Amino acid sequence: MARSARDRERYRPPEKWDYNRNWTEPGWPEAPLADQKKIWVRYVQNLYEILDRLRTKNPKLEIESCSGGGARVDLGILRRSDQVWPSDNTDALDRLSIQSGFTQAYTPHVMIAWVTDAPDWLHARATPLKFRFEVAMSGALALGADLNKWNDEDNALAAKMIALYKRIRPTVQNGKLYRLRSPDSDFSAVEYVAEDAHEPCCLHIFTHSASDGVFLLLSCRV
């Protein structure tokens, strides 16, 4: 369907800064050793300059930086981008630890969290779609799966999860994060609480390994 001129004006495709090949032989032998090392600093300075230029030209441009992509997630890159990609590992179970570590330093607001296909490419681990959604709903939910492979049941679940996420998104992204149980155990839990007591707060619980018959008690911060 053709976009109207107004839609075209509204839609500004986001920019993703990716970087999938690390330097193997940086520098040049003729230069003094101290200068050769400057390439790492110059790269970052030039990256910042390019992003600054893009921002100046189009202030509404959304920029996503890949942690492999910008080769960094830090306050400098966060000043110039809207969201960052914590890891290429999108396996939902691993992601619990990655997200727990990431949010020690940065807000869930900037933490892109994709629902991707299972089995995942790294471990060939098949996690349920609901689990993958609920892990990703702990950050900035996005879809990175092949939707052509989803059946009606998957689509219905996705619609339900996305609708729920839209309700809790302000709390997840801007609320207070409480770590009720670490991912280093058989189950984990995080809770997000809004500043306003009348805004929704939400509790996300995940089992990592079979814990049938175990009585678990969690105290929330509602």
State the nearest-atom distance from the C-beta of 188 to another protein, in Å: 10
User: 32 is written with which tokens?
Assistant: 């003094």
CB 76 within 8 A of CB 51: no
Choose the catalytic residue: 35, 88, 184, 196: 88
Amino acid present at 167: R
Quick one: which of 43, 131, 150, 178 contacts another protein (CB under 8 A)?
A: 131
Cis omega (within 30 of 0) on the bond before 119? Answer: yes
d(CA 152, CA 148): 11
Check binding of 220 to another protein (CB under 8 A): yes
Q: With contacts defined by CB under 8 A, how many residues of the chain interact with another protein?
A: 34
Check binding of 112 to another protein (CB under 8 A): no
Best CA proximity match to 196, nearest among 165, 161, 171:
171
Site stretch for another protein (CB under 8 A), options 14-22, 40-48, 75-83, 127-135: 127-135
Name the residue nearer to another protein (CB basis): 156 or 222.
222
Burial of 184 (C-beta count, 10 Å sphere; 0-12/13-18/19+): exposed
Q: Which of residues 149-208 bind another protein (CB under 8 A)?
A: 160-161, 164, 167-168, 187, 197-208
CB 92 within 8 A of CB 123: no
88 is catalytic: yes
State the nearest-atom distance from the C-beta of 128 to another protein, in Å: 6
d(CA 148, CA 1): 19
Query: Which residues contact another protein (rule: CB under 8 A)?
Result: 92-93, 127-128, 130-131, 134-135, 137, 160-161, 164, 167-168, 187, 197-212, 217, 220, 222
Residues noted as catalytic: 18, 88
